[in-house]
Structure 1
Amino acid sequence: MAAFGQRLISLRHFQSTVCGKITKFEEDFIPEGWSRDQVDLDCSDIKQKPQKEVIDEAIDKIIRKEAEMGIKQESAEGLEDVEIAKRECQVDPKPCRLKSYWLCKNRTAQDIKLTRSHKQINYIASMMKEPTHAPEERTIDPNEVIITVALYHPLKLLKQQEFQVLGSQSLTALRDRLYCLADYLMDGQQTKSGFFLIENTFYNDMRLPENMDYSKFITDWVSDKARYTIPSVGMYSSKRMEDTTFLDLTIKIGHPYLYVHQGSCEHNIVFTEVRIATHMDVQTYSSYPRHIFQAKIRRRKCKICDIFPARYVTYRDRMATEDPFFFCEHCYRPLHYDFEGRVLYNDFEVFPYYHE
């Protein structure tokens, strides 16, 4: 009540102060010789509140504000009670005996950085649509074995492709689906030789008469001077790839094996899964080997227009600003050929460019 009286006294003092300032303002602003009687100031249409009504409204406003302050204070006290109840209900993790919990809690920033997963992006599975097949087409056996095998980059430890194959299929079915740029460079289209090395056995592709048995040089070297008796060398055997099915193999899940083609292009292949086929799998036999993963292939743009992908790469080219230099089809020919199709100069090397 004392606070209310103090506010009322302050309100009245404010009113008297403002009225005094207005009177002083009129005395300073009105010029000398001017009188209110000379001007017709008809203010009959203006309704002026009585002084008592103005004071009563101010008092009501103060009372409402105090009531709101009281409600807020009560709600704040209620929130404090809720927070206290939450703290009392929380379980202390110290009695927990799970080692994984404490290992996770006590990891350093370096450990978190090293154990952070790097998800590989699949550039085929999200957009791949299974082709339609005729109803009378051959379907897989209900007890068929499905094997998942991954192909890795020859220089980087990055997964490039992944396939699902059937246990009844030959190794050549997978070999024909594996993609490597080395098969398209120089005379790669004419060289079809290659082998898988799985558990000390070479599986050579001998479907064509001109194919070479790459493993013969290795097996002869091992047999010479009884080198197979050395523990780090061991004994090797050789079989034909087209005569061997995946069910004939003895493999370890997650173990890297070797795929070699084009003489010296070496890839790691890893068998990641072996299971029985289910009704959720693709049932048509011709869909296998089924391409389920493809890493992104980086392809450079033309360094002239920076719009189209490069088709040619040149070395020691006088028209290029750097070596090597990449051209698209639209920019390469105008710079190196005249209107009649004759080369302008030939003191450089040019090769077709595919991708990295």
Structure 2
Amino acid sequence: MNVDDETLKNLSQRCGEYSLRCGREDQLKYQSVDLFPEDIDLVTVNLQKNDIEKRKNYPIYRSLISRRQRNRFLFTHMLSPTHNQPSPEDRISTPDAILQVALYKPSKRIGNNITRTLSNDSASLENVYAILGQQKLTELRDRIRCVNDVLVTGDYSDNPDLNISLCAWDVFKSGTFFIENVFYDDTRQPDNLKYSKEIVEWAAKSGIEYQCKTMETTKFNELTVRIGCPYLYLHQGNCEHLLVFSDIRMVHPHDNLNINEYPCVIQRSNKRRTICRVCAYASARWRTVESEHALNSTSFFCDACFRSLHYDKDGKKLGNFKAYKYFDEHTVL
């Protein structure tokens, strides 16, 4: 960065972590997280107090919290430089910025109980992507993998061997980002729907103005974003993902300078697979509804158990049930 040692030393003294402390922090030195100010009545402080008390008094709660926090994410190091230097045409043109974009799983809504919805992993982190400022929004969208994109609709109980030629992504290619009151619609295909159209018209009746732009013509370095602010990625009609820009920094020589490696996943969450309800070993491939061979109205089976329970030796359907192709995100994505 062409900074001399004297300037670097001066910056480290003025911008170091010790310069950010004030009041009693120098005396406390973060010795305990149990110390709370007596004259502050904040919801977050009260929640922290209650959580600490419950961890002390309830071993089951303490064990549950520890289990949820253990090995929650798998980290990859895809930003580190590769052994093979990229060709001049594939090399990142600097200066450029690297943005870290956190994508959260679709929210799970349970009726009108907002409290239960928020506590039911409705904002569960899925992946964190690294993308360059010179890249377009469509490049990030093509890199995002959602299990709803590979779903195949329809009842396959009459013919489970029916060849699957199309999935949801092949049919419903529309999508949009909503960032700082601007909708960025994917209009690469002529039959793509503009999800923003009806929302913009509805908001205009209340005096709220939203802008609309195309996703394929907008680069990330043209956006105005706020770090930590929640934005929206909408696709497949009603599949809503929370999108958060968690970090922005300049590209440095220690990064992977091959532009073809971006966008890339730099943080991935652990996924729990759905296992077969019969063998309790293989991953589920089928979801049945109203099956008399299952203990529950809706149940999951691997391919072998599904066929052995619901069809005879000649492949004839046994009973009246519905069967749907099931794609587990742990094994598909």
* TM-score, length-scaled by structure 1: 0.64
Q: CA deviation at 1:126?
A: 7.0
Matches within 5 A, 1:258-269: 258-269=232-243
Q: CA deviation at 1:240?
A: 0.3
Equivalent residue number for residue 5 of structure 1: none
Equivalent residue number for residue 74 of structure 2: 123
Pick aligned residue for 1:98 from 21, 24, 27 = 27
Rounded to whole Å, the distance in 2 between the matches of 1:197 and 1:129 is 31
Tell me the matched-pair count: 254
Within the alignment, does 1:168 sit opposite 2:134 as a pair? yes
Rounded to whole Å, the distance in 2 between the matches of 1:337 and 1:96 is 70
Equivalent residue number for residue 214 of structure 1: 195
Matches within 5 A, 1:119-268: 121-123=72-74, 125=76, 135-136=86-87, 138-155=90-107, 156-185=122-151, 186=153, 188-189=168-169, 190-224=171-205, 227-228=206-207, 234-268=208-242
Relative to total residues, which structure has the larger helix share, 1 or 2?
A: 1
Rounded to whole Å, the distance in 2 between the matches of 1:128 and 1:164 is 8
Q: Structure 1 residues 111 and 303 mapped into 2: Cα distance closer, same or farther (>3 Å)?
A: closer
- What amino acid is aligned across from residue 349 of structure 1 in structure 2? K
CA deviation digits over 1:239-281, x for unaligned, max 9?
0000000011000011001111111111110001111101111
Counterpart contact for 1:151–1:267, Cα < 8 Å: yes
Equivalent residue number for residue 292 of structure 1: 266
Equivalent residue number for residue 343 of structure 1: 317
Q: CA deviation at 1:142?
A: 2.9
Counterpart contact for 1:316–1:323, Cα < 8 Å: yes
Q: Structure 1 residues 247 and 126 mapped into 2: Cα distance closer, same or farther (>3 Å)?
A: closer
SS in 1 for 2:183: strand
- What amino acid is aligned across from residue 323 of structure 2 in structure 1? V
The alignment yields a C-alpha RMSD, in angstroms, of 3.1
CA deviation digits over 1:69-103, x for unaligned, max 9?
xxxxxxxxxxxxxxxxxxxxxxxxxx996255587
CA deviation digits over 1:315-354, x for unaligned, max 9?
1111112222211111111222233323233x11111222
Identity of aligned residues (%): 37
Within the alignment, does 1:319 sit opposite 2:293 as a pair? yes
Q: Structure 1 residues 308 and 104 mapped into 2: Cα distance closer, same or farther (>3 Å)?
A: closer
> Gaps spanning 5+ residues in structure 1: where?
1-94, 229-233
SS in 2 for 1:239: strand
- What amino acid is aligned across from residue 238 of structure 1 in structure 2? C
Rounded to whole Å, the distance in 2 between the matches of 1:129 and 1:101 is 33
Q: Structure 1 residues 131 and 350 mapped into 2: Cα distance closer, same or farther (>3 Å)?
A: farther
Counterpart contact for 1:253–1:271, Cα < 8 Å: yes
Matches within 5 A, 1:41-120: 98=27, 101=30, 104=33, 106=35, 110=50, 112=52, 118=69
Equivalent residue number for residue 352 of structure 1: 325
> Gaps spanning 5+ residues in structure 2: where?
1-23, 37-47, 56-64, 108-121, 154-166
Rounded to whole Å, the distance in 2 between the matches of 1:327 and 1:280 is 47
Higher relative contact order (CA 8 A, sep 6+): 2
Structure of greater Rg = 1
Rounded to whole Å, the distance in 1 between the matches of 2:277 and 2:300 is 6
